[in-house]
Structure 1
Amino acid sequence: MEQQTTYYELFQRSLANPEAFWQQYADAVPWYTPPRRILSTDAGGLTRWFAGGRLNTCYAAVDYQVENGRADQPALVYDSPVTQTIRAYTYRQLQDEVSRLAGGLRSLGVGKGDRVVIYMPVVPEAVFAMLACARLGAVHSVVFGGFAPHELAIRIDDAQPKVVLSASCGIEVDRVIPYKPLLDAALRLASHHPSRCVILQRPMQPALLHAGQDTDWQALVHDAQPAGCVPVDATDPLYILYTSGTTGKPKGIVRDNGGHAVALRFSLDAIYDVKPGEVFWAASDVGWAVGHSYIVYGPLMHGCTSVLFEGKPVRTPDAGTFWRVVQDHRVKVLFAAPTAFRAIRKEDPEGQLKKKYDLSSLTYLFVAGERCDPSTFHWLTDLTGLPVIDHWWQTESGWPMVANMMGVEPVPPKPGSSARPVCGYDVQILDEDGNQLGPNQEGNVCVKLPLPPGCLPTLWNNTEGFRQAYLSRYPGYYLTGDGGYIDEDGYVFIMGRVDDVINVAGHRLSTGEMEEILAGHPAVAECAVMGIACDIRGQRPIGLVVLKDGVQIQEPQLESELVALIRERIGAVASFRSVAIVKRLPKTRSGKILRKSIRQMADGIAFTVPSTIDDPAILDEIRMVLQTRHIGLAFADTDTAI
Structure 2
Amino acid sequence: MTDSSVMPEAPNPYTAAADRAAADPERFWLQAAELIEWTTPPTRALDDSRAPIYRWFPDGELNVCHNALDRHVAAGRGDDTALVYDSPVTDTVRRFTFAELLDEVSRFAQALADQGVGKGDRVVIYLPMIPQAVVAMLACARLGAIHSVVFGGFSAHELAVRIDDTAPKAVISTSCGIERSRVIEYKPLLDSALDLAREQPDFTVIVQREQHRCELIAGRDFDYEELLAATPDGAPCTPVAATDELYVLYTSGTTGRPKGIVRDAGGCAVALAWSMPNLFDLRPGDTMFTASDVGWVVGHSYIVYGPLLAGVTTVLYEGKPIGTPDASAFFRVVEDHQVNVFFGAPTAMRVIRKEDPEGRLIGKHDLSSLRAWFQAGERLDPDTYEWTTRVLRQATGDDIPVIDNWWQTETGWPIASNPIGLQRYPLKPGSPTLPVPGYQVDVVDAAGRAVPPNEDGLIVIRLPLPPGTMSTIWGDDDRFVSSYLSAYEGCYLTGDSGHLDEDGYVYVMGRTDDVINVAGHRLSTGVMEAAIASHPAVAESAVIGVHDETKGQMPRAFAVLKDIPDLDVEQVKSELVAKVRSEIGPVAALRRVDIVDALPKTRSGKILRKTMREIADGQTDVVVPSTIEDPEVLERLRPALEG
- 1:551 and 1:110 map into 2 onto residues whose CA distance is 56
Conserved 8 A contact 1:531-1:542: yes
Matched letter for residue 268 of structure 2: H
Deviation at 1:551, TM superposition (A): 4.5
- 1:243 and 1:534 map into 2 onto residues whose CA distance is 22
Q: Deviations over 1:382-427 (max 9, x none)?
A: 1112110001000111000011111111111111111110000000
More deviation, 515-524/586-595:
586-595
1:619 pairs with 2:634:
yes
1:574 pairs with 2:619:
no
- 1:338 and 1:220 map into 2 onto residues whose CA distance is 40
Matched letter for residue 348 of structure 1: D
Matched letter for residue 446 of structure 2: E
Matched letter for residue 609 of structure 1: V
Matched letter for residue 143 of structure 1: V
Residues 610 and 212 of structure 1, relative CA distance in 2, 3 Å threshold: same
Conserved 8 A contact 1:76-1:305: yes
Matched letter for residue 219 of structure 1: E
- 2:348 and 2:449 map into 1 onto residues whose CA distance is 38
- Aligned twin of 1:146: 153
Conserved 8 A contact 2:153-2:587: no
Matched letter for residue 319 of structure 1: A
- Aligned twin of 1:156: 163
Structure 1 segments of 4+ aligned residues over 4 angstroms from their partners: 42-45
Which residue of 462, 467, 483 corresponds with 2:476? Answer: 462
Deviation at 1:552, TM superposition (A): 3.6
Q: Deviations over 1:361-395 (max 9, x none)?
A: 01100000000111101000111121100010001
Matched letter for residue 367 of structure 1: Q
Which residue of 35, 38, 41 corresponds with 2:42? Answer: 35
Identity of aligned residues (%): 57
- 2:587 and 2:635 map into 1 onto residues whose CA distance is 31
Residues 619 and 324 of structure 1, relative CA distance in 2, 3 Å threshold: same
Deviation at 1:44, TM superposition (A): 6.7
Superposition pairs of residues 124-135 of structure 1, within 5 angstroms: 124-135=131-142
- Aligned twin of 2:175: 168
Q: Deviations over 1:2-36 (max 9, x none)?
A: x9743222211110000111111111111111013
- 1:127 and 1:347 map into 2 onto residues whose CA distance is 31
- Aligned twin of 1:361: 369
Q: Secondary structure at the match of 1:157?
A: helix
Q: Deviations over 1:247-286 (max 9, x none)?
A: 1212111111111111001111111111211000110000
Superposition pairs of residues 212-223 of structure 1, within 5 angstroms: 212-223=219-230
Q: Deviations over 1:424-457 (max 9, x none)?
A: 0000112111112121121111100011010111
- Aligned twin of 1:471: 485
- Aligned twin of 1:488: 502
1:543 pairs with 2:574:
no
1:381 pairs with 2:389:
yes
Which residue of 61, 64, 73 corresponds with 1:57? Answer: 64
Deviation at 1:459, TM superposition (A): 1.2
Deviation at 1:623, TM superposition (A): 2.4
Which residue of 348, 351, 364 corresponds with 2:359? Answer: 351
- Aligned twin of 1:563: 577
Which residue of 409, 419, 444 corresponds with 2:458? Answer: 444
- Aligned twin of 1:637: none
- 1:625 and 1:533 map into 2 onto residues whose CA distance is 15
Superposition pairs of residues 269-284 of structure 1, within 5 angstroms: 269-284=277-292
- Aligned twin of 2:26: 19
Deviation at 1:576, TM superposition (A): 1.0
Superposition pairs of residues 198-597 of structure 1, within 5 angstroms: 198-224=205-231, 225-385=233-393, 386-597=400-611
Matched letter for residue 69 of structure 1: G
Matched letter for residue 105 of structure 2: V
Conserved 8 A contact 1:481-1:499: yes
- 1:234 and 1:479 map into 2 onto residues whose CA distance is 25
- 1:589 and 1:512 map into 2 onto residues whose CA distance is 20
Q: Secondary structure at the match of 1:328?
A: helix
1:68 pairs with 2:75:
yes
- Aligned twin of 2:624: 609
Conserved 8 A contact 2:203-2:220: yes
- 1:35 and 1:501 map into 2 onto residues whose CA distance is 38
Matched letter for residue 295 of structure 1: I
- Aligned twin of 2:5: none
RMSD: 1.3
Deviation at 1:320, TM superposition (A): 0.8
- Aligned twin of 1:639: none
- 2:493 and 2:566 map into 1 onto residues whose CA distance is 45
1:93 pairs with 2:100:
yes
Deviation at 1:316, TM superposition (A): 0.8
Deviation at 1:42, TM superposition (A): 4.8
Structure 2's unaligned 5+ residue stretches are 1-9, 394-399
- 2:208 and 2:64 map into 1 onto residues whose CA distance is 28
Conserved 8 A contact 2:52-2:485: no
- Aligned twin of 2:7: none
Residues 42 and 256 of structure 1, relative CA distance in 2, 3 Å threshold: farther
Matched letter for residue 187 of structure 1: L
- 1:302 and 1:411 map into 2 onto residues whose CA distance is 24
Deviation at 1:70, TM superposition (A): 1.3
Conserved 8 A contact 2:322-2:351: yes
Q: Secondary structure at the match of 2:473?
A: coil
Deviation at 1:590, TM superposition (A): 2.1
Structure 1's unaligned 5+ residue stretches are 631-642
Matched letter for residue 142 of structure 1: V
- 2:386 and 2:43 map into 1 onto residues whose CA distance is 48
- 1:42 and 1:326 map into 2 onto residues whose CA distance is 47
- 2:464 and 2:624 map into 1 onto residues whose CA distance is 39
**How many residues are treated as equivalent by the alignment?**
626
- Aligned twin of 1:634: none
- 2:553 and 2:38 map into 1 onto residues whose CA distance is 43
Q: Secondary structure at the match of 1:531?
A: strand
Q: Secondary structure at the match of 1:560?
A: helix
Q: Secondary structure at the match of 2:35?
A: coil
Q: Structure 2 length as normaliser, TM-score? A: 0.96
Q: Secondary structure at the match of 2:472?
A: coil
Matched letter for residue 60 of structure 1: N
Q: Deviations over 1:79-121 (max 9, x none)?
A: 0011111110000100111011001101110011111000000
Conserved 8 A contact 1:77-1:86: yes
- Aligned twin of 2:203: 196
Deviation at 1:553, TM superposition (A): 3.5
Matched letter for residue 316 of structure 1: T
Matched letter for residue 151 of structure 2: F
- 1:233 and 1:520 map into 2 onto residues whose CA distance is 44
Matched letter for residue 481 of structure 2: R
Deviation at 1:45, TM superposition (A): 5.6
Conserved 8 A contact 2:52-2:464: no
